[in-house]
Amino acid sequence: MVRGGDIRVSFQQGDQGLFETASGGSGELAVPMAWAFGSGSRGVTLVGLLAKDTYLESAVSFYARTSSLDITPGQQSLPSTSLLQAVGQTNGVRKCFPCHATGPVTFGEQEVAVAEPGVWCEACHGPARQHTQAAARRDVPAARRLIRRLGGLSGERLNQVCGNCHRPPAGGEAGNDFAVAWNVRHQPPYLERSKCFAGGKLSCSTCHPAHQELRREDAGFYRDRCMGCHQAKVGHSRPAPTCLTRPGPDCVHCHMPAVTVSSQLTFRNHWIGVYGGDQALIPVR
Task: Identify the weakest region by mean pLDDT among 15-19, 64-68, 105-109, 259-263.
Answer: 105-109
3-class secondary-structure state, position 39? coil
Angle at 160 between CA 269 and CA 165, to 5 degrees: 70
**For strand 101-107 and strand 88-89, is the pairing parallel, antiparallel, or unpaired?**
unpaired
Q: Which residue has the higher pLDDT, 181 or 250?
A: 181
Which of 129 and 235 is assigned the larger pLDDT? Answer: 129
Predicted confidence band of residue 5 (pLDDT cuts 50, 70, 90): confident
What is the per-residue pLDDT for 107? Answer: 87
Q: Give, rounded to a whole angstrom, the gap between the first and last alpha carbons of the chain.
A: 44
Using the predicted structure, report yes or no on whether residue 120 has a pLDDT greater than 80.
yes
Residue 88 or residue 224, greater confidence: 88
Supply the Cα-derived Rg of the chain in whole angstroms.
Answer: 22
80 with 2: CB under 8 angstroms? no
How many angstroms separate the CA atoms of 113 and 111, rounded? 6
**Spatial distance between the Cα atoms of 92 and 78, rounded to a whole number of angstroms:** 14
Give the whole-number percent of the chain exceeding pLDDT 70.
92
Q: Strand, coil or helix: what is 197? A: helix
Question: Where residue 22 falls among pLDDT bands split at 50, 70, 90?
Answer: very high
Query: How far is residue 122's CA from residue 109's CA, in Å, rounded to a whole number?
Result: 27
For residue 113, give the 3-state DSSP assignment. strand
The number of residues making up the chain comes to 285
Task: Count CB atoms within 10 A of the CB of residue 261.
Answer: 15
pLDDT digits (tens, 9 = 90+) for 188-218: 999 999 988 987 889 999 999 988 888 888 8
Q: Mean pLDDT for the chain?
A: 87
Question: Is the pTM value of this prediction over 0.95?
Answer: no
User: For 229-275, how does the pLDDT look when each residue is reduced to its tens digit (9 = 90+)?
Assistant: 887 555 554 445 444 444 455 788 889 999 998 889 999 999 999 99
Neighbours of 23 (CB within 10 A): 16
- Report the C-alpha gap between 48 and 39 in whole angstroms: 18
Conformational region of residue 276, where left means phi above 0, alpha means psi within -120 to 50, and beta covers everything else: beta
Number of neighbouring beta carbons within 10 Å of residue 16: 8
Distance CA 62, CA 213 (A): 21
